Chain A
Amino acid sequence: MNDRSVWGDYILYLLGAGAILILARDINVIARLPNEAQQGAIFKIIFFHVPVAITAMMAAAVALVASVLFLVTRDFRYDALAVAVTEVGLAFLAANLITGSIWGRIIWGQWWAWDARLTSALVCWILYAAYLMLRRAVEEPTQRATFAAVWSIFSFIDVPIVIFSIKWWRTQHPQPVFWGGGSFPPDWLAVFLWNMLAMVLLAAVMTVVRLRQEDAQRELDSLRRTAHAM
Chain B
Amino acid sequence: MHLSSIPLVFAQMTSADDIVREAARLQRNYEFLSYGLTIAWVILVIYVLLMVSRERKLKREIASLKAMIEDRRKS
Contact = CB atoms under 8 A, between A and B. Distances in A.
Interface of A: 27, 34-42, 44-45, 48-49, 52, 88, 91-92, 94-95, 98-99, 102-103, 105-106, 182-185, 202, 206, 209-210, 212-213, 216-217, 219-220, 223-224, 226-227, 230
Which applies to chain A's interface (DSSP): helix, strand, loop or mixed? Answer: helix
Contacts of B32: 42, 102-103, 105-106
Contacts of A213: 51, 54-55, 58
7 contacts: A37-B4, A40-B25, A95-B43, A103-B36, A212-B55, A213-B54, A220-B58
A52 B37 CA distance: 12
Interface in B13-59: 25-26, 28-30, 32-33, 35-37, 39-40, 43-44, 47-48, 51, 54-55, 58-59
Contact of B40 (A44, A52, A105, A184): A52
B48 to A, nearest CB: 7
B59 A216 contact: yes
Which applies to chain B's interface (DSSP): helix, strand, loop or mixed? Answer: helix
Nearest to A94: B43
Contacts, number: 106
B12 to A, nearest CB: 11
B11 interface: no
Contact of A182 (B1, B25, B59, B66): B1
Contacts of B33: 41-42, 44-45
A127 B4 CA distance: 42
Given A95-B43, A206-B47, A220 B61 contact: yes
A35 B37 contact: no
A98 B61 contact: no
B62 A220 contact: yes
A219 B54 contact: no
A34 B4 contact: yes
Interface string B60-73: 01100110110011
B1 A37 contact: yes
B26 A40 contact: yes
A155 to B, nearest CB: 19
Contact of A216 (B6, B44, B55, B66): B55
A224 B62 CA distance: 9
Contacts of A91: 43-44, 47
Contacts of B59: 216
B60 to A, nearest CB: 10
Given A206-B47, A227-B68, 16 more contacts: A35-B4, A35-B6, A35-B29, A37-B3, A45-B33, A105-B32, A106-B28, A183-B1, A209-B55, A213-B51, A216-B55, A216-B59, A219-B62, A223-B62, A223-B66, A227-B65
